[in-house]
Amino acid sequence: MENTKVDALLSVQKVTKEFGGITAVSDFSMDVYPGEIHCLIGPNGAGKTTVFKLITGVHQPTYGRILFKGKNITRVSTSRKMKMGLSIKMQVPGVYSELTLRENIRIAAQNFIPKKELEKEIERLIDVVGIRNLGNPLVKNMSHGQQQWLEIAMALAAKPDLLLLDEPAAGLGPDETEFTAGLILELNRQGMTVLFIEHDMNFVRRIAKDVTVMHNGSKFAEGTLDEILHNEGVAQIYLGKEAG
């Protein structure tokens, strides 16, 4: 018996989101397959963040549906989606700045990890994202980059199968960007599927394997990183000119 077709881990199907008179996302579809590092790019206002918010449940689609592991999650609560294995790190910091690094991870992990395993899991997550050398500072004393890695650790506390990252390289210096790239590649090597939004094309080049391009709320192009980098229409929408 031959059955080589792999099912998508995440399937966004013909999704539209209207805010009053504004159509932020229009009839947009995208599949993310297990093992991918899939990047969603597009000019400002293309609809990328809205797609993320539809996936995580911050917004409900006006039309269309979203499947995760083959199940319809269009109207499933965000916390239930996390229990199903979908975790997100948004661009706006979601850390508690007056608490310590470990207290932050503990808050993120306690809903998913049995109490007697919690401390061991916190230490494991610290090693996974490579921030043991920081000690246990108050988060407000950590750099922007260090807070980003802490947030990735917090997102991993849910033991996700799919990790969503909204602009993981935003505001990072070159060394921090490189550290983040290495971290995502290592997580992926260990089996994590990753979907991320990014504007920094050097970062996209460094880690993305599959790319979906959005423009004016719709899918403009899709393919391997190499195909997208050689797509003239994609270059043109970034220059503000419509592809002919």
Which residues form the interface with ligand ATP (CB under 6 A)? 19, 22, 24, 42, 44-50
Residue whose CB is less far from ligand ATP, 24 or 162: 24
Q: In terms of CB distance, is 42 or 57 closer to ligand ATP?
A: 42
Question: 46-51: which pairs have CB atoms within 8 A and are 24 or more residues apart?
Answer: 46/214, 46/215, 46/216, 46/217, 47/17, 47/214, 47/216, 47/217, 47/218, 48/197, 48/214, 49/91, 49/166, 49/197, 50/17, 50/24, 50/25, 50/217, 51/12, 51/15, 51/25, 51/214
Nearer CB in complex with ligand ATP: 121/198: 198
The least CB distance from residue 24 to ligand ATP, in Å, is 3
CB of 150 to ligand ATP, least distance (A): 23
Least separation, in Å, of the C-beta of 44 and ligand ATP? 4
CA distance 39 to 168: 11
Residues 6+ apart with CB under 8 A from 29: 11, 12, 13, 14, 15, 64, 219
CB of 74 to ligand ATP, least distance (A): 18
> Is-contact 7 70, C-beta < 8 A?
yes
Q: Which is nearer to ligand ATP, 42 or 61 (CB)?
A: 42
**CB closer to ligand ATP, 71 vs 243:** 243
Query: Dihedral of CA 190/144/201/86: which sign?
Result: positive
